[in-house]
Amino acid sequence: MARFCCLDTYSYALFFISSLVLAFHFHASEAQAHPQVVKGLSFSFFSKTCPNLETVVRDHLSKVLKKDNGQAPGLLRIFFHDCFVTGCDGSILLDAKGGKDEKGEIKNVGIRKEALRTIDDIRSIVHNKCGRIVSCADITVLAAREAVFQSGGPLIKVPLGRRDSLTFNTKATSKIPSPFKKTNETIKTFAEQNFDVTDVVALSGAHTFGRAHCSTFSKRLSSKDPTMEKSLAKSLKTRCPNASSDNTANLDLRTPTFFDNKYYLELMNSRGLFTSDQDLFNDKRTKGLVTSFANNQKLFFEKFSVAITKMSQLSVLTGNQGEIRAKCNVVNTK
C-alpha cells in the first residue's frame, strides 16, 4: 500500500491555509446544511398511514445484506441512476415491453438484478402491511439510505411522498455522469441538476464501496495513465487484460465493503479507478475537498448526507401525479 510522503514546511503552510479557507467555506454554508423539502414531500408523510415503514425496510435489508453485501452499493447506484435521469420517480425499475428500457442503456451496464428484486420484495412486504400507499420511488430511496447506513455510513434523513412515473426515458440516461470524464465536465454535469462542487466531491464518495467493470477504467491501463499508481496499474492489467473482460475490480481497495472515507485516501495515493474519481485530486477546485474528507470522516458524512437529501428530491412526482405501482417493474393496468 502506498504511503503518504512527509510535507515540507512550505507545503504544510499551504495545507494549513487551504484548511482554514475550507473551514470558513463549510461554516458559511452551514445555513444550507439541511436542504429545503420540496412541496408534496414530508419527513412524516407515512407517520399515521404506515408508521413502521422505515423499520420494515431496515429489517428486510438487514437479512439481505447479511447474505449478499454487494447489494448495498447496487441499491445506492439504482437510486442515483434513477434520480439523475427524469427525477426520483422509479423509472429505472420499469421493464420495456419491446426494445430497451433505462436499465439496458450503456450508462446502466452492471445494474444488479438482485438489487432490483430486493426493491420489489420490499414493496411487496410494505404493501401487505400498509396497503398500496408507498411508491416504488420512495422504497428505492429508503433502500439506498439503508444500504449506506448498514454498511457503516450515516443515517440520512430523507423526506417521503414520491409517486411513480408512468413511463421511462432511455435518452435521458445520457445525463448520468461518466467515469471517463475529467472534473471540469463532471462539475458541469452535476451543475445541471443544481449541485455545487462540494456536492460533486461528496457524492463521488459513493465509490467508497462496490465494484467496477474493466471497461470503465481499462483505457487508463492501455494508455499507461501517469496519474495511476504503478503497482495498482500492474495489478489491474492482470485482472483486466482488455476492455471486453467480464472481470470487475473494487472501487476502494482499502475497505471495499464498508462505507467510509477511505476512498479519498486512495485518491491522494493515486489509486482511484475512474478518471472522474482520480481527477478530483488533480483539479485545484476539488483537491482541497478531497483532502478534507480524507482527514475528517464526520465532515464527509455530513456533506454526503446533505447531497443525498438534495438528490432524493430531484423532479419528484407528488400529489395526483404519476401513480403508486402495484409492481415496481410495470405500470398499473387501468
Written as tens digits, the pLDDT of the chain (334 aa) is 443 344 344 344 444 444 444 444 444 444 446 789 999 999 999 999 999 999 999 999 999 999 999 999 999 999 999 999 999 999 999 999 888 999 999 999 999 999 999 999 999 999 999 999 999 999 999 999 999 999 999 999 999 999 999 999 999 999 999 999 999 999 999 999 999 999 999 999 999 999 999 999 999 998 789 999 999 999 999 999 988 899 999 999 999 999 999 999 999 999 999 999 999 999 999 999 999 999 999 999 999 999 999 999 999 999 999 999 999 999 999 7
| Predicted pLDDT of residue 51 | 97
Q: Is residue 45 part of a domain?
A: no
Residues 262 and 296 reside in one and the same domain = yes
The domain boundary residue, chosen from 175, 210, 240? 175
* Greatest distance between any 2 Cα atoms in the chain: 71
Q: How far apart are CA 125 and CA 105, in angstroms?
A: 30
Residues 135 and 192 reside in one and the same domain = no
Residues 149 and 256 reside in one and the same domain = no
Query: Would you say 218 and 193 are in contact if contact means Cβ atoms under 8 Å apart?
Result: no
68 is in an annotated binding site: no
Q: Is residue 206 part of a domain?
A: yes
| Predicted pLDDT of residue 8 | 46
Q: Is residue 106 part of a domain?
A: yes
207 is in an annotated binding site: yes
82 is in an annotated binding site: yes
Q: Is residue 299 part of a domain?
A: yes
Q: How far apart are CA 251 and CA 263, in angstroms?
A: 8
Residues 206 and 299 reside in one and the same domain = yes
pTM: 0.89
Q: Considering 25, 27, 60, 81, which one is annotated as catalytic?
A: 81
Q: Is residue 284 part of a domain?
A: yes
CATH code assigned at 225: 1.10.420.10
What the block records as the C-alpha cell of 245 is: 473482460
Residues 195 and 306 reside in one and the same domain = yes
Residues 60 and 89 reside in one and the same domain = yes
Residues 147 and 188 reside in one and the same domain = no
Domain count of the fold of the chain: 2
Q: Is residue 34 part of a domain?
A: no
Residues 199 and 298 reside in one and the same domain = yes
Q: Is residue 321 part of a domain?
A: no
Strand intervals (E) in 182-272: 211-213, 248-250
Clarify whether 25 is annotated catalytic: no
Residue 60 structural domain: 53-175
283 is in an annotated binding site: no
Pick from 11, 157, 172: nearest CA to 86: 172
Residues 168 and 281 reside in one and the same domain = no
Tell me, what amino acid is at 68?
D
Rg, Å, the chain Cα set: 20
CATH code assigned at 108: 1.10.520.10
Q: How far apart are CA 172 and CA 174, in angstroms?
A: 5
Q: Is residue 24 part of a domain?
A: no
Residues 106 and 94 reside in one and the same domain = yes
Residues 289 and 206 reside in one and the same domain = yes
Residues 70 and 162 reside in one and the same domain = yes
